[in-house]
Amino acid sequence: MECAAFVNGKEDTVTKDKWSPVNSFRSFVSSALNKGLSEIISKHAKNDHPIVEIGSGIGYVLSESLSPKTIRTQPSHAECQLLSKSISEPIYKTDIEGIYNCLLESGKKIPLFFAVDVFDTLSPSLRKGSFLQISQLQNTDDRILIMLDTNPCLDVTIEHLGSLYPEHAIFPYYPLTNDPAKFSVIIVPIEYVQHKPSQSELLEMINQESMAIMSGRVSQMQYGLHQLQKKFDLKVVNLEDFFSEQVKSELVQAGYKADVYYHSSFTTGDLPKGLQEIKQDLVYKPVTDTATVRQWCLTDEKLLSSLNKKGLSLPKHFNEDFLHSIRAQGQKIFGAEILVIEATKT
């Protein structure tokens, strides 16, 4: 495998962090995200066994105990360059096929693979092929951890969804209130619409509708879609759930059983400069939400209900004494949520 130290020896090119929109939101809660990732991975790491990260990304770091035994890989030359500037560990320039060929030839088995915001960028056929390759590098009860801290890749996920409903149009579908909600789309029979948006038009529409919701506005299109859904009982698809079920099916075909769950972690600290307008105690980032990052009072029923629907809750020590302590220090609580698809080889 090609190490990033060698990659950096090549002629420099102008690189752009394609994850900058995601990382701008991650930055609010990066300490909680880093803690959560380390908690999930450490739970399944085996002593003295290497861990392989597929498609290492920017915007998060691993704990000091995990970093030395993690083999980090990234197929993109530009991403390798960016990563090598932020972490000290070597980055190997290779894709899943490269990992497969290298390890299969050596005969080594890897008990734990993990990926953050990677497998959602692959088409279903490529993803299934990757799972089949990884399965040959693992023994029974070894694991793959597939994690998301943001939307499943919209263009890939919506393209696949559209292929399942060729005689329908897809539109973003938001609640009429600004309550916490996973991102969803509505499937509309083509005879009910004047124009079926192309994929690029749909992605632009999602961006515009998201900005409207985040600013507290509801578009006339959303009112119309809600009326249409109520009248004809149209199908509404949550993208997180759709992606999770699709990946579970692909993993079963590759010889794994899979569990899907949410994990949340919390840290405390000072607010970043320029965010003095945050008055509540908690700054929280779900996997997907209409507002992406919100501030909350810890007793808000909407927050507690949203967490409960995902099998989550606030830590028990978040009581009045704890709040008094962090308020006295001028600090806030930061929370981050991760969707985990945990696959175990059968």
Question: Does residue 345 belong to any structural domain of this protein?
Answer: no
Question: For residue 55, how many other CB atoms are within 10 A of its CB?
Answer: 20
Mean pLDDT of the 91-118 span: 92
User: What's the CA gap between 218 and 209, in Å, rounded?
Assistant: 8
pLDDT at residue 24, as a whole number: 56
Strand partners, 118: none
- Do residues 114 and 248 share a domain? yes
At a CB cut-off of 8 Å and minimum separation 6, what does 59 contact?
19, 22, 23, 26, 27, 30, 33
Question: Does residue 111 belong to any structural domain of this protein?
Answer: yes
Strands 294-296 and 143-148: what pairing?
Answer: unpaired
Strands 332-345 and 282-285: what pairing?
Answer: parallel
Percent of the chain topping pLDDT 90: 68
Strands 2-3 and 91-93: what pairing?
Answer: antiparallel
Which of 262, 294, 311 is the C-terminal boundary of a domain?
Answer: 262
Does 5 score more than 90 pLDDT? no
Mean pLDDT of the 218-226 span: 92
User: What's the CA gap between 286 and 307, in Å, rounded?
Assistant: 9
- Do residues 74 and 195 share a domain? no
Which secondary structure element, helix H or strand E, spans residue 215, and what is its range? none
Residue 258: which CATH number?
3.40.50.150
For residue 19, which amino acid is it?
A: W
**Which domain, by its residues, includes 297?**
267-337
Tokens of 210: 């998201």
- Do residues 16 and 146 share a domain? yes
Predicted confidence band of residue 6 (pLDDT cuts 50, 70, 90): very low
Predicted confidence band of residue 3 (pLDDT cuts 50, 70, 90): very low
Tokens of 340: 């985990």
User: What's the CA gap between 186 and 179, in Å, rounded?
Assistant: 18
Q: pLDDT digits over 56-78, tens only?
A: 888 888 998 899 899 999 999 88
Give me the number of domains the chain comprises: 3
Question: Does residue 343 belong to any structural domain of this protein?
Answer: no
Does 17 score more than 70 pLDDT? no
- Do residues 223 and 289 share a domain? no
pLDDT at residue 4, as a whole number: 38
- Do residues 50 and 168 share a domain? no
User: What's the CA gap between 121 and 162, in Å, rounded?
Assistant: 16
- Do residues 122 and 210 share a domain? no
Contact assessment for residue 53 and residue 38, using Cβ atoms and an 8 Å cutoff: no
- pTM, rounded to two decimals: 0.90
Question: Does residue 197 belong to any structural domain of this protein?
Answer: yes
- Do residues 94 and 8 share a domain? yes
- Do residues 313 and 230 share a domain? no
Question: Does residue 346 belong to any structural domain of this protein?
Answer: no
Tokens of 341: 């698809």
Contact assessment for residue 147 and residue 338, using Cβ atoms and an 8 Å cutoff: yes
